Amino acid sequence: QKEVEQDPGPLSVPEGAIVSLNCTYSNSAFQYFMWYRQYSRKGPELLMYTYSSGNKEDGRFTAQVDKSSKYISLFIRDSQPSDSATYLCAIFTGGFKTIFGAGTRLFVKA
Amino acid sequence: AAGVIQSPRHLIKEKRETATLKCYPIPRHDTVYWYQQGPGQDPQFLISFYEKMQSDKGSIPDRFSAQQFSDYHSELNMSSLELGDSALYFCASSPLAGGRQFFGPGTRLTVL
């Protein structure tokens, strides 16, 4: 079992839809969770960074962590065609190591 | 705001040649990470440095080596290049040795 599981998609939604992206992880000791957005042929861009359980909101983006279920989510409200990208969840495991999910490809249709 | 700088942005080499990739972290970031990303794959961790010392090692081939210099920039040296080394190579930096990593634009290496 991989330490971080993420459905690679692709996920296609109409403009204005609410998007839900999810990852599960295996180690209950993990505490730092991140979401990155990666456009084609570009470096991953840090979107959200959360510690422990709960919600964190930044504009149209909300990151949610449920440590009891070992489940993390990223919600995008009022999705735009410019949100079309690959979204990677990432977990900092301590020390110097971060584990990335496989990334979910999102397409937002105008 | 300053970002991570990588050079070159594109590199074309032939099999068995050597390549050197450079990374300049965000100022005051003391940790540097190197990743390899193949087409349609997530970034695979290669190696990291904290305060100029190797801090962690991932799936880095023995043909590759890296170091971090006194000015905190890092270089990834790749020898005896193989076709399978063709990928995007990202450098990331973080403050205080953990957590949020900020990625550079990547170097696209093509081995012919």
Name the token pair of A14. 């109409």
Overall average pLDDT of the A18-42 stretch: 92
Overall average pLDDT of the B91-105 stretch: 84
Overall average pLDDT of the A93-97 stretch: 76
Overall average pLDDT of the A14-23 stretch: 97
Residue A35 has pLDDT above 60, yes or no: yes
What pLDDT score was predicted for residue B41?
Answer: 86
Count: domains in chain B: 1
What chain A residue is nearest to B105 in terms of C-alpha separation?
A43
CATH code for position B99: 2.60.40.10
**CB A98 to CB B33 under 8 A?**
yes
Tokens 């599960």, located at residue: A24
What chain B residue is nearest to A51 in terms of C-alpha separation?
B99
A89/A87 Cα distance (integer angstroms): 7
A87 touching B, CB under 8 A?
no
What pLDDT score was predicted for residue B98?
Answer: 59
**CB B42 to CB A49 under 8 A?**
no
pLDDT digits (tens, 9 = 90+) for A40-81: 888 999 999 888 788 999 999 999 999 999 999 999 999 999
Residue A93 has pLDDT above 90, yes or no: no
Residue B103 has pLDDT above 70, yes or no: yes
**CB A98 to CB B101 under 8 A?**
yes
At residue B59 the predicted structure's pLDDT band, cuts being 50, 70 and 90, is: confident
Residue B97 has pLDDT above 70, yes or no: no
Please tell me the least confidently modeled range out of A42-51, A87-96, B17-26: A87-96
B39 touching A, CB under 8 A?
no
Q: Which residue of A96, A97, A99, A105 to mutate against B (max B Cβ within 10 Å)? A: A96
**CB A34 to CB B103 under 8 A?**
no
CB neighbour list of residue B96: distance below 8 Å, 6 or more residues apart: B30, B31
What pLDDT score was predicted for residue A98?
Answer: 85
Please tell me the least confidently modeled range out of A42-51, A54-63, A89-98, B32-41: A89-98
Overall average pLDDT of the A85-109 stretch: 90
CATH of domain A4-109: 2.60.40.10
What are the chain B neighbours of A94 within 8 Å (beta carbons)? Answer: 98
Question: Domain limits of chain A?
Answer: 4-109
Cβ–Cβ under 8 Å, residues A89 and A33 = yes
One DSSP character per residue, B48-95 reads: EEETTEEEEE-S--TTEEEEE-TTS-EEEEE-S--GGG-EEEEEEEEG
What is the extent of the structural domain holding B50?
5-111
**Residue-averaged pLDDT of chain A:** 92
